[in-house]
Amino acid sequence: MTALTPPAVERTAGPALGRQAWLVLAITLVFWVADGYDTFVLIITGRPALLDLLPPDQVSAVPRYMGYLLAVTLAGWATGGILGGVVGDRLGRRRTMVAGVALYSLATVLAATTGTWWLLGLSRFFTGVGIGAEWGVGTSLLQETWPERWRTRGAGLLQAGFSLGGLVVSALWVLVGSTWGLSWRWMYAFGVLPLVVVALVRRRIPESARWTSSGRREERPGLLRGASARRFLAALGVSVAITVGWWAVSSYQPTFVGGLVTDPRRTAFYTGWAGALYNVGEIAGCIAFGFLAEAWGRRATTLVFLAGSCAVVPVVFLGLHQAGPATLAQLVAGLFTGGLYSWYAVHTPELFATRVRATAISAVFSGARYLAMIASIVSGSLASALGGFDRAAVLFTPVYLLGAVAVLCLPETRGKGLPA
């Protein structure tokens, strides 16, 4: 197994990006695209899947069941993230990432064969476990590989891969669901592709030299002690804002747009395009976040994206009442509410030491999903009670203000590099 350039050499190597750095970005980017696909496929196909799996007398409760499916996905994601972070700090980034990819790929394929909504939910739980286990170690591997000068930009590019996966599933659903009129099950069958990729490239994935040389068998510093504890809690606050805001608000936007369509035959068309445009905006936002964080600083950039999220959500859900304008507005919604996700890849790795980095950033990223799980159930139930996603989503918008307060409690890490 190939080792990467040690930290001491990396700091003196200048701005050059070596072959292994590009290899790590390419491999992790492919897996991030798959993450985005396997996450967004439920958001795009949730309604037709539930209409197929639920009895006719439960059609009016589709938003509530959608909340259940999102909740179990988040529960798996949170559980897998925490376990994957701990395992990644002990057994290495590479092996943990490969196992996570294999798990969520298999679980997604199994979702195509389910005959009840709760079996679909079970497969989604294990999909979440795999994605969560892979995320923290993949982020750590990239950050520990790229030279200091380029790390932030590389993190933005990596996070954009998740949005690219959402764009792929949206475009594919327009083709599969609208043009060809095929079942939603085909969308899950494509989940086999990451398993094929990981089988082909797993031996070429290098291990992080930072992790190898960090004394992984020595006693690790306590994550919940002193400055690390304060950073962890503040970062968790930012994570709650981003995660609850997305899963209780933004994740319903394609379904909301679909509800504005008067011709049922055009629902898949508008839903697919809404998801596609949201992800185009999210890709732009994720990449822009990485560059702006290097120019403005981590905290200032995060505050701008949080403020933009607070502003755009009421406009989309309460100000737009036609499918066309609401679909176009997804570009701006994706830019802010989706672009915020680059905060995880840019800021959190710089807050914690190498020996606990995967554990810490996985716990920050995934721990908030337990709250988001509850929020998605409440949001779905409110949508059913209030007659739509619009009012329910807006009720959760102030959560972005929590993120603004929490990020001000974190240190500015621009120019300081990764802690040893």
| Angle, CA 145 vertex, CA 140 and CA 146 arms, to 5° | 110
Tell me how far apart the alpha carbons of residues 85 and 128 are, in angstroms, rounded to a whole number. 14
Q: Single out the residue of 196, 185, 174, 45 nearest to residue 109, CA to CA.
A: 185
What was the pLDDT predicted at 373?
Answer: 76
* Its pTM surpasses 0.95: no
Number of CB atoms found within 10 A of residue 13's CB? 14
Cβ atoms 416, 148 nearer than 8 A: no
Residues 6 or more apart whose Cβ sits within 8 Å of residue 361: 85, 136, 139, 140, 344, 348, 349, 352
What was the pLDDT predicted at 224?
Answer: 63
CATH number 1.20.58.220 given to 16-213+223-407: no
pLDDT by residue, tens only, the chain of 420 residues: 444 444 443 443 445 677 888 888 899 999 989 998 998 899 888 888 998 998 888 877 887 888 889 889 988 988 998 899 889 888 888 999 999 999 999 999 999 999 999 999 999 999 999 999 998 898 888 888 888 778 888 888 888 888 888 888 888 888 887 778 888 999 999 999 999 999 998 888 888 888 888 654 455 555 666 677 889 999 999 999 998 888 777 777 777 787 777 777 677 788 778 878 888 898 899 999 999 999 999 999 999 999 999 998 888 888 887 888 888 989 999 999 999 999 998 999 899 888 888 888 888 888 787 777 777 777 767 776 776 667 777 788 888 999 999 999 999 999 887 787
What was the pLDDT predicted at 185?
Answer: 94
Cβ atoms 272, 177 nearer than 8 A: yes
The tokens of 69 are what?
A: 């499916």
Q: Single out the residue of 108, 70, 36 nearest to residue 334, CA to CA.
A: 36
CA atoms within a 13 Å half-sphere pointing along the CA-CB vector of 356: 17
**Among all chains, which residue has been given the structure tokens 């994935």?**
205
Tell me how far apart the alpha carbons of residues 341 and 163 are, in angstroms, rounded to a whole number. 10
Residues 6 or more apart whose Cβ sits within 8 Å of residue 121: 68, 69, 72
